[in-house]
Amino acid sequence: MVLENKIWHQQNNPFNDYSGYLQQKHPDKKPFLVVLSPEGLAPAGWTGISYSMFISVLSHRLGMACISSPLNKWQVLLREFILHLETLMGKNTIAAETETFVLENLRNIQEAVLLKNAVVKSLQEEGLRFLTEHFSDRGYEVATALNHWEGYPALRFGLSHWVSESDVVLFLDKTPGRQFEVRTYICSLTTPALQHQARQMLIPALHDDCWSESSGSVFTVVSRLPQKHEAKHLMFQSVAKALEQLNEFELRHER
């Protein structure tokens, strides 16, 4: 048997040479010439087997083996091999009408993406101006950065005199059922004492969630903004309040 496996390349191999060599080496035997390919195509004189057919037969045999015999490493390896083939042959999960709509409206979609980016950038700059004015009487310099979490903008603000990477994030999450959030990230909590003090000082009376990250060296406090507080000045006021509280901690506990 000759088995030629074609995944991504064209079938331009010297198939006649393969079959001629087999007949020369084994003239007393009947050759079985097989091409394994995504669509099951094969040249004349060869048998074509598609990956979908191959996977179907393998899966059935594997299922029977799992029922009739104890689990062993060969069954595990075969299962991993089948999963790999299914990944290679994976079909497009996007509906045809959705794909058509996107392709026909690429210009409008791109304009919407550019508009979204411009609005987010403008909001970030407005927040920076608001916070700079808020802290101007103390001469604090406000730093900002823009990230995206799960596709939604996360506007990061901090005070430049902080030694740690602590900051306050305005997370504009519009996932159904979610609200905009102000998240305070307290970083470089290198000792249990610092971790305890951060919890004691930075958890406000009204907060919605909190957790530790990086083996306790980062502590996060989350306050969700009600719909009525999604006006820009109210969002920035919430960020300013969180920065005030975080600044008090940073000045007391320089790391």
Per-residue pLDDT in tens (0 to 9) along the chain, 255 residues:
889 887 766 777 888 888 889 889 999 999 899 998 888 888 888 999 988 888 888 888 888 887 777 778 888 888 888 888 877 776 665 777 888 999 999 999 999 999 999 999 999 999 999 999 999 999 999 999 999 998 899 999 999 999 999 999 999 998 888 899 999 999 999 999 999 999 888 887 668 899 998 889 999 999 999 876 668 899 999 999 999 999 999 999 876
Secondary structure in 3-state letters for 195-224? HHHHHHHHCCCCCCEEEEEHHHCEEEEEEE
Contact 189, 202 (CB under 8 A): no
How far, in Å, CA of 71 to CA of 68, rounded?
Answer: 9
CA dihedral 104, 107, 110, 115 (to 10 degrees): -130
Predicted local confidence at residue 229, as pLDDT: 60
Contact 53, 36 (CB under 8 A): no
CA atoms within 13 A on the CB side of 218: 11
Listed in order, strand segments (DSSP E) in the chain are 2-5, 33-37, 47-50, 142-149, 152-159, 167-171, 181-186, 209-213, 218-224
Question: What's the one-letter identity of residue 34?
Answer: V
How far, in Å, CA of 240 to CA of 133, rounded?
Answer: 11
